Structure 1
Amino acid sequence: MTTPHLLHPRDPRQAVCGIAADQVLRWETDDPPRGHTCEECLTDYEEAARPDDANHPIGDATLIDTLRRIAADRQILKVDGVLIDAWSASVTVLIWDQLRDDKRQRLLTLPSHELILRCVCIYTTLTARGNAR
């Protein structure tokens, strides 16, 4: 079942709501987000108020090492203002390992949360095709 929850990846209040990307019907694209987007994120997830565990500027390939650590330790870390869970980290690493170097370099031009969302999107597209057969 899909939830009608709106999510704005550039707003830290929206980036921590914990709803899987494949469950979101629509991504909020207004900047700043409209008033009816999720306001409960900071109260539902106390981890959202904590300081960042890691910061990675755009183009920093050590982001992947941080994601490998999150996946291996099955934990949640706050990276560049966004909470990253073990599933998102493991899916990102899985897709990353399958990419050619030129595609990796293109992904590294994105902010960390967008890189992760792209990899999750690729993963859900590939798994949806696999289930349709």
Structure 2
Amino acid sequence: MTPHLLHPRDPRQAVCGIPADQVRRWETEDPPRAGYTCEDCLTLLPDAARPDDANHPVGDATLIDTLRRIVADRQILKIDGVLIDMWSASVTVLIWDNLRDDKRRRLLQLPSHGLILQCVRIYAHLTAPRGDR
């Protein structure tokens, strides 16, 4: 039997409805490790069912305005099916503000989650320790 996510409101039952006494191991990591969690558990979580707060097609520069709103409101939003937290939004806005226009155009060719992940990679590269110089 695959491990299941413990339902946050009912400690006796998995999200997918399997009784707790039949589940051998609970998946408690957040986010859960891929491949070890029942697909039904992931799709039945409250955040998975939450409707999108914003939709941005590829090339839509208003995505950055939505990310600025996340930072200003100190909230999370679901954009194009992906939950975006405040840290990811702030890093994306920080990197975006320091890019040249040609680099911005290249990033806008990515879907919204791809643009955010690329900005997080750039930030990680810039802030990684370089060792003794």
Q: If the length of structure 1 is used for normalisation, what is the TM-score?
A: 0.67
- Cα deviation for residue 94 of structure 1 reads 0.3
**2:87 equivalent in structure 1:** 87
Compared CA separation, residues 18 and 79, structure 1 to 2 (3 A): farther
Report whether the alignment pairs 1:112 with 2:99.
no
**1:67 equivalent in structure 2:** 67
For structure 1, the residue ranges without an aligned partner over 5 or more in a row are 1-16, 25-34
Count the aligned residue pairs.
Answer: 101
CA distance in 2, matches of 1:37, 1:124: 27
Q: What is the one-letter code of the residue matched to 2:85?
A: D
Structure holding more helix per residue: 1
- Cα deviation for residue 47 of structure 1 reads 2.0
1:1-133 equivalences under 5 Å are 19=31, 36=35, 38=37, 39=39, 41-42=42-43, 46-129=46-129, 132=131
For structure 2, the residue ranges without an aligned partner over 5 or more in a row are 1-28
SS at match of 1:121: helix
Identity of aligned residues (%): 69
Runs of 4+ with >2 A deviation: 37-43
CA deviation string 1:95-116 (max 9, x = no partner): 0000000000000000000000
Q: If the length of structure 2 is used for normalisation, what is the TM-score?
A: 0.67
Compared CA separation, residues 37 and 93, structure 1 to 2 (3 A): farther
Q: What is the one-letter code of the residue matched to 1:116?
A: I
State the structure with more CA Rg.
2
